[in-house]
């Protein structure tokens, strides 16, 4: 069901989800995929930076940070 | 010239010395392992044409000479930055100056197995003899993860050595294994592939492999790996444009089209397939005991990235570093200045007086001093940066600052170079190496010197003391302090504005995504940090030092030639006469000495005024007239091109105050008084506040520093950018100084 998808950045800090779709431009998506952010990967939103941007996420056991505008383009299915 | 080859007589010739390369993800402990393997005698240089650090050393404890090359940290073989491109090119043996590796050591972070294995399997597929150094086993254990090395070795088909690089556990066994394997004759293995591709993808990859092995027969073992990369990533072709023939590119495009028509996402399929395999391997070889409670990193991060505390801690750390670079460097700086100067004087005393003598004392030694005085600041900065990087805080600093920096189109990592530039633009510009995106890095380099560095401080101090009245503003603040603050702020604001402008115009381009790993915190190893500091500082001395020295000699020449023999002998005569004259009654020896001193100062002043620099000063007078500056200031501007603080000593020569004791306030005060007394042609004080203000503003912007020009040349590898920077900053300086001169009277400063 596509209805319960939401942007990654809409998760609350500490929220868990599964990556459902990465809607970034193909050129910039490549590196994220290579870092293991693939459809079906469990993901946790750890926190937002003190100034609200970027966000910190945890995938495959390590921490990564992305800008909010990019995190908006990653759709997840909350768990 | 190859920076790596130092064949001493008797050493084995280059071609037969086995070559081992060390590769792995960023933060996997590669550098720590490199240091453990090679000891203290590594050579650090750059790859030709790029400012990517190249580290090479000799394997310690091996019977044979085995060279170890440390590659930049890399997430995958599809490069995203210059660093990664170099790593890729070495691994594909595309750099003519790096021989094909006899052995590849992939460092794998055991506490981050999946992502590290992603890269490791890519490298194994290249077909070189490969060894896995499974590092950070201690961290994995702390996380409750245990890994069966034999199983992993079986799954990957290459030997696996568990190690803890930071404490040396397992390094000996690894060394033995490397030594044994590196000298074996290469036995090409059958290509392995760690991703099960769908049938149609596999067929396309095979066809492309065929074509590649025909065009590049020497790399046939890597053809499959290369075929997969160029098929799945369009940037591969862009990053090595001349490698592939149009026919081949057409073939790639056709293959992609066929896949697309079959509904296959040619970009993600190989990545997904590889991750599927890698997670299967992880499940097979590791067991994970659930750990309760948070890790240390989580606990630290909760404070360090807290809304309030995070910023407080950040500001405190930055203040400490800034203060450290600013003040801790002062004493060693003074010592170095003193040391180089006394050495110069000693050498000149050993030689007969004459032009050569002057060249050596005033040109060479002063120039060498100009290089060496930067060393303490640079060492300190690199020490702090090393500390921040090694603990893992650097990534957090970028995480915290990204929001602010992204407002002007920059990356969080640009913050440190900009901050360091307050102390000195040179270490600041060198610190920009941590920025991956070449455009962001260039913008950072272009605006960094707008930060008021410590060399501007004497200029500001002198002019403020001379011309800014000590009046109170709003009851508590004093005007001189406010003016000083205004100069610093002006630099910052314009730097940010220019960064924004450059990103919008000249260096436009899609803002690269921020993909920033936040590695776990680590206890820093002092020897690693010191080593890092020393390596980079030495690189500065070698590369920028020579240029700075050369230009300083040139400037010395301009300031001391041509000589006016007649005037000089007249001076000698007057001095001799004065000395020979019997001491008049009532004149103490002190007063006599003072009179001699005065004569000497006047002579030094005359020489400078009539030198090439003096003539140039007069030459540029029409240009600086609209700013309210006269030819004397012109001389100061020209001479201070060597370094801004030279303005102060030059002014004192021009006004016959004599050589200034640079660090003493008394000297500055005398000069300030002298400047105050100067009468311009129209009878008013020449150093009127509006002129002083305009001059300060000029110094905020003008790139009056050859060392910066030299280092920018070095870091950008072309003269184009330093020249552009010099011109744009000069234009800003002129414009803002002009405005200041015109607007100041409105505020009652005339
Ligand atoms: N606990 C532990 N820490 C380690 C180990 N190996 C390295 N470290 C630490 O991990 C941090 C990163 O190590 P580096 O050697 O700088 O990592 P690198 O892979 O060279 O990183 P890049 O320079 O980004 O490529 C440092 O603080 C090391 O002290 C290890 O086996 N165990």
Q: How confident is the model at residue B669 (pLDDT cuts 50, 70, 90)?
A: low
Facing residue for A33 by CB, picked from B114, B268, B512: B268
Confidence (pLDDT) at B181: 86
Q: Does the pLDDT value for residue B160 go beyond 80? A: yes
Q: Do A54 and B402 touch (CB under 8 A)?
A: yes
Question: In angstroms, what separates the C-alpha of A68 from chain B's closest C-alpha?
Answer: 10
Q: What is the dihedral of CA B285, B289, B294, B298, to 10 degrees?
A: 0
Confidence (pLDDT) at B370: 65
Q: Does the pLDDT value for residue B704 go beyond 50? A: yes
Provide the pairing of β-strand B145-147 with B515-517: unpaired
Query: Does any ligand 1 atom lie closer than 6 A to the CB of residue B101?
Result: no
Interface check A44 vs B, CB under 8 A: no
CA pseudo-torsion sign B490, B495, B496, B497: positive
Query: Does any ligand 1 atom lie closer than 6 A to the CB of residue B32?
Result: yes
Mutate to test the interface with B, among A20, A22, A38, A50 (most CBs of B within 10 A): A50
Q: Does the pLDDT value for residue B326 go beyond 70? A: no
Facing residue for B513 by CB, picked from A47, A60, A70: A70
Q: Does the pLDDT value for residue B259 go beyond 70? A: yes
User: Bigger pLDDT: B570 or B220?
Assistant: B570
User: Bigger pLDDT: A24 or B597?
Assistant: A24
Interface check B406 vs A, CB under 8 A: yes
Q: Does the pLDDT value for residue B10 go beyond 70? A: no
Q: What mean pLDDT, rounded, does chain A reach? A: 88
Q: Which residues contact B153 (CB under 8 A, 6 or more apart)?
A: B132, B159, B160
Q: How far is CA B726 from CA B339, B458, B617, B712, in A?
A: 32, 22, 18, 10
User: Bigger pLDDT: B166 or B636?
Assistant: B166
Give the pLDDT mean for B27-56.
Answer: 79
Domain definitions of chain A by residue range: 2-78
Minimum mean pLDDT among B291-300, B363-372, B395-404: which range?
A: B363-372
Q: Do B400 and A51 touch (CB under 8 A)?
A: yes
Facing residue for B514 by CB, picked from A29, A54, A63: A54
Confidence (pLDDT) at B462: 74
Three-state SS for B105?
strand
Give the pLDDT mean for B236-260.
Answer: 82
Q: How far is the CA of A16 from the centre of ligand 1 (A)?
A: 29
Q: Do A60 and B115 touch (CB under 8 A)?
A: yes
Most confident listed range (B10-19, B21-30, B309-318): B21-30
Interface check A78 vs B, CB under 8 A: no
- ipTM > 0.90 for the complex: yes
Confidence (pLDDT) at B687: 66
Q: Does the pLDDT value for residue B683 go beyond 60? A: no
Alpha carbon distance B68, B61 (integer Å): 13
Confidence (pLDDT) at B216: 76
Confidence (pLDDT) at B726: 92
Three-state SS for B78?
coil
Q: DSSP letters of B125-177? A: TT-S-EEEEEE-HHHHHHTTEEE-HHHHHHHHTS-EEE-BTTTTBTHHHHHHH
Confidence (pLDDT) at B3: 40
Q: Do B403 and A54 touch (CB under 8 A)?
A: yes
Give the pLDDT mean for B163-177.
Answer: 92
DSSP state of B685: B
Q: Does the pLDDT value for residue B663 go beyond 60? A: no
Alpha carbon distance B27, B631 (integer Å): 55
Q: How far is the CA of B282 from the centre of ligand 1 (A)?
A: 22
Contact B54, B71 (CB under 8 A): no
Nearest CA in chain B to A50: B307
User: B607-654: per-residue pLDDT in tens?
Assistant: 777 788 778 878 888 888 888 887 778 878 877 776 776 676 666 666
Mutate to test the interface with A, among B304, B405, B514 (most CBs of A within 10 A): B514
Alpha carbon distance B113, B115 (integer Å): 6
Contact A32, B80 (CB under 8 A): no
Query: Does any ligand 1 atom lie closer than 6 A to the CB of residue B29?
Result: yes
**In chain A, how many H helices and how many E strands?**
2, 6
Confidence (pLDDT) at B55: 84
Query: Does any ligand 1 atom lie closer than 6 A to the CB of residue B707?
Result: no
Chain A residue numbers touching B515 (CB-CB < 8 A): 31-32, 35, 64-66
Q: DSSP letters of B556-568? A: HHHHH-S--HHHH
Probe target for ligand 1 pocket from B166, B296, B300, with the most ligand atoms within 8 Å of CB: B166
So what's the architecture of A2-78 in CATH?
Answer: Roll (2.30)
Q: Does the pLDDT value for residue A8 go beyond 70? A: yes
Give the pLDDT mean for B22-26.
Answer: 93
User: A9-46: per-residue pLDDT in tens?
Assistant: 889 999 999 999 988 887 778 889 999 999 999 999 99
Strand partners, A44: A16, A58
Q: What mean pLDDT, rounded, does chain B reach? A: 80
Q: How far is CA B116 from CA A35, A57, B24, B282, in A?
A: 9, 18, 7, 11
Confidence (pLDDT) at B302: 87
% of chain B surpassing 70 pLDDT: 83
Give the pLDDT mean for B259-276.
Answer: 90
Give the pLDDT mean for B430-450.
Answer: 84
Index of the ligand 1 atom closest to the CA of residue B107: 19
DSSP state of B328: I
Residue nearest atom 2 of ligand 1, based on CA coordinates: B136
Q: Which of residues 495-524 of B touch A (CB under 8 A)?
A: 510, 512-519
Q: Does the pLDDT value for residue B735 go beyond 60? A: yes
Give the pLDDT mean for B376-398.
Answer: 83
Q: How far is the CA of B29 from the centre of ligand 1 (A)?
A: 3
Buried b (16+ CB within 10 A) or exposed e, B692-725: bbbbbbbbbbbbbbbbbbbbbbbbbeeeebbeeb
Locate B595 and state its tokens.
Answer: 């009179």
Q: Does the pLDDT value for residue B660 go beyond 60? A: no
Facing residue for B80 by CB, picked from A31, A33, A62: A31
Q: Does the pLDDT value for residue B680 go beyond 50? A: no
User: Bigger pLDDT: B87 or B1?
Assistant: B87
Q: Which domains does chain B have, with CATH numbers?
A: 16-181 (3.40.50.300), 199-288 (1.10.287)
Q: Which residues contact B381 (CB under 8 A, 6 or more apart)?
A: B321, B325, B420, B423, B424, B427, B428, B430, B431
Q: Does the pLDDT value for residue B347 go beyond 60? A: yes
Chain B residue numbers touching A63 (CB-CB < 8 A): 517-519
Confidence (pLDDT) at A56: 93
Confidence (pLDDT) at B650: 67
CA pseudo-torsion sign B93, B95, B100, B101: negative
Minimum mean pLDDT among B3-12, B53-62, B414-423, B679-688: which range?
A: B3-12
User: Bigger pLDDT: B701 or B82?
Assistant: B701
Q: Which residues contact B79 (CB under 8 A, 6 or more apart)?
A: B85, B87, B88, B235, B236, B239
User: B329-341: per-residue pLDDT in tens?
Assistant: 778 878 887 888 7
Query: Does any ligand 1 atom lie closer than 6 A to the CB of residue B26?
Result: yes
Closest of B273, B276, B281 to residue B232, by C-alpha: B273
Q: How confident is the model at residue B295 (pLDDT cuts 50, 70, 90)?
A: confident
Confidence (pLDDT) at B600: 73
Q: Does the pLDDT value for residue B502 go beyond 50? A: yes
Contact B160, B134 (CB under 8 A): yes
The Cβ of residue B346 has, within 10 Å, a number of other Cβ atoms equal to: 11
Interface check A16 vs B, CB under 8 A: no
Alpha carbon distance B192, B123 (integer Å): 10
Confidence (pLDDT) at B8: 37
Interface check B436 vs A, CB under 8 A: no
Residue B195 CA, distance from chain mean position: 39
Q: Do B516 and A54 touch (CB under 8 A)?
A: yes
Q: How confident is the model at residue B4 (pLDDT cuts 50, 70, 90)?
A: very low
% of chain B surpassing 90 pLDDT: 18
Give the pLDDT mean for B114-126.
Answer: 93
Confidence (pLDDT) at B188: 60
Q: How far is CA B561 from CA B366, B567, B613, B618, in A?
A: 17, 13, 8, 15
Half-sphere exposure of B633 (CA within 13 A, CB side): 24
| Contacts A–B by Cβ distance under 8 A | 110
Q: Does the pLDDT value for residue B203 go beyond 80? A: yes
Residue nearest atom 4 of ligand 1, based on CA coordinates: B166
Three-state SS for A6?
strand
Nearest CA in chain B to A53: B403
Half-sphere exposure of A2 (CA within 13 A, CB side): 1
Q: How far is the CA of B8 from the centre of ligand 1 (A)?
A: 32
Angle between helices B526-560 and B631-639 (to 10 degrees): 140
Query: Does any ligand 1 atom lie closer than 6 A to the CB of residue B73?
Result: yes
Confidence (pLDDT) at B230: 86
Nearest CA in chain B to A40: B272
Q: How confident is the model at residue B557 (pLDDT cuts 50, 70, 90)?
A: confident
Q: How confident is the model at residue B11 (pLDDT cuts 50, 70, 90)?
A: very low
- Burial environment of residue B437 by CB neighbours within 10 A (0 to 12, 13 to 18, 19 or more): buried
Which pTM value belongs to this model?
A: 0.78
Provide the pairing of β-strand B477-478 with A55-59: unpaired
The Cβ of residue B72 has, within 10 Å, a number of other Cβ atoms equal to: 23
Q: Where are the alpha helices (DSSP H) in B288-329?
A: 296-304, 309-323
Q: Does the pLDDT value for residue A55 go beyond 90? A: yes
User: Bigger pLDDT: B611 or B254?
Assistant: B254
Facing residue for A31 by CB, picked from B111, B515, B519: B515
Question: In angstroms, what separates the C-alpha of A13 from chain B's closest C-alpha?
Answer: 12
């Amino acid at each position: 069901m596509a209805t319960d998808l939401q942007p990654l950045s809409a998760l609350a800090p500490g929220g868990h989800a599964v990556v459902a779709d990465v809607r970034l431009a193909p050129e910039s998506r490549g590196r994220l995929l290579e870092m293991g952010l693939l459809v079906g990967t469990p993901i946790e939103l750890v926190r937002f930076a003190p100034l609200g941007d970027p966000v910190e996420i945890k995938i495959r056991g390590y921490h990564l940070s992305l800008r909010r505008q990019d995190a908006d383009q990653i759709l997840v299915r909350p768990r | 010239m190859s920076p790596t080859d130092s064949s001493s007589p008797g050493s084995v010739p280059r071609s037969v010395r086995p070559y081992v390369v060390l590769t792995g993800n960023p933060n996997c402990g590669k550098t720590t392992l490199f240091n453990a393997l090679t000891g203290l005698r590594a050579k650090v240089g750059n790859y030709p044409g790029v400012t990517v650090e190249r580290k090479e050393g000799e394997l310690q404890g091996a019977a044979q000479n085995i060279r170890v090359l440390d590659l930049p940290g890399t997430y995958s073989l599809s490069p995203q930055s210059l660093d990664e491109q170099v790593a890729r090119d070495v691994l594909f043996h595309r750099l003519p100056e790096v021989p094909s590796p006899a052995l590849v050591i992939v460092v794998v972070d055991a506490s981050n197995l999946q992502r590290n294995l992603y890269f490791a399997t890519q490298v194994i597929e290249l077909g070189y003899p490969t060894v896995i150094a499974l590092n950070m086993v201690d961290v994995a254990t702390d996380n409750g993860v245990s890994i069966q090395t034999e199983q992993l070795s079986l799954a990957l088909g290459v030997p696996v050595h568990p190690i803890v690089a930071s404490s040396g556990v397992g390094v000996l066994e690894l060394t033995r294994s490397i030594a044994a394997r590196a000298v074996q004759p290469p036995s090409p293995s059958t290509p392995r592939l760690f991703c099960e591709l769908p049938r149609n993808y596999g067929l396309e990859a095979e066809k492309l492999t065929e074509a590649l092995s025909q065009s590049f027969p020497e790399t046939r073992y890597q053809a499959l790996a290369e075929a997969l990369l160029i098929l799945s990533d369009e940037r591969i072709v862009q990053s090595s444009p001349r490698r592939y023939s149009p026919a081949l590119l057409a073939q790639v495009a056709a293959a992609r089209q066929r896949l697309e028509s079959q509904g296959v996402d040619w970009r993600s399929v190989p990545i997904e397939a590889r991750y599927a395999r890698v997670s299967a391997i992880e499940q097979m070889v590791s067991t994970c005991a659930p750990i309760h409670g948070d890790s240390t990193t989580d606990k630290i991060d909760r404070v360090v990235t807290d809304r309030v505390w995070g910023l407080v801690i950040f500001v405190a750390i930055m203040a400490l570093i800034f203060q450290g670079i600013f003040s801790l460097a002062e004493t060693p700086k003074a010592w170095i200045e003193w040391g180089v100067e006394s050495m110069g004087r000693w050498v000149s005393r050993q030689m007969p007086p004459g032009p050569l003598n002057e060249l050596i004392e005033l040109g060479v030694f002063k120039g060498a001093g100009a290089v060496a005085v930067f060393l303490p600041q640079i060492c300190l900065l690199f020490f702090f940066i090393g500390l921040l990087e090694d603990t893992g805080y650097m990534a957090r600093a970028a995480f915290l600052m990204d929001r602010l920096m992204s407002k002007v189109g920059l990356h969080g990592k640009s913050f440190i170079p900009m901050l360091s530039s307050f102390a000195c633009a040179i270490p600041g510009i060198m610190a920009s190496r941590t920025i991956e995106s070449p455009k962001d890095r260039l913008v950072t380099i272009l605006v960094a010197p707008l930060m008021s560095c410590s060399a501007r401080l004497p200029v500001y101090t002198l002019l403020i003391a001379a011309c800014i009245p000590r009046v109170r503003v709003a009851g508590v603040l004093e005007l001189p302090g406010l003016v000083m603050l205004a100069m610093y702020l002006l630099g910052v604001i314009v730097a940010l504005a220019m960064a924004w402008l450059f990103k919008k115009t000249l260096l436009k381009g899609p803002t690269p995504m921020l993909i920033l790993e936040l590695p776990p915190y680590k206890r820093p190893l002092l020897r690693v940090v010191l080593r890092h500091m020393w390596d980079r500082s030495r690189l500065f001395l070698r590369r920028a030092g020579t240029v700075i020295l050369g230009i300083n000699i040139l400037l010395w020449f301009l300031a001391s030639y041509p000589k006016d023999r007649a005037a000089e002998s007249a001076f000698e005569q007057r001095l001799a006469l004065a000395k020979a004259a019997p001491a008049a009654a009532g004149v103490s020896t002190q007063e006599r000495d003072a009179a001699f001193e005065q004569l000497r100062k006047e002579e030094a002043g005359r020489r400078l005024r009539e030198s090439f620099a003096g003539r140039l000063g007069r030459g540029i007078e029409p240009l600086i007239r609209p700013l309210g500056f006269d030819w004397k200031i012109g001389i100061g501007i020209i001479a201070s091109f060597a370094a801004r603080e030279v303005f102060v000593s030059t002014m004192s020569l021009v006004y016959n105050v004599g050589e200034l004791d640079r660090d003493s306030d008394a000297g500055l005060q005398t000069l300030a008084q002298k400047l105050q007394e100067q009468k311009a042609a129209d009878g008013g004080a020449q150093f009127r506040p509006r002129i002083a203000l305009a001059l300060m503003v000029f110094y905020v912007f003008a790139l009056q520093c050859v060392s910066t020009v030299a280092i920018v040349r070095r870091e950008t590898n072309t003269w184009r950018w330093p020249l552009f920077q010099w011109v744009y900053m000069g234009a800003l300086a002129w414009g803002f100084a002009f405005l200041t001169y015109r607007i100041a009277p409105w505020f009652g400063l005339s």
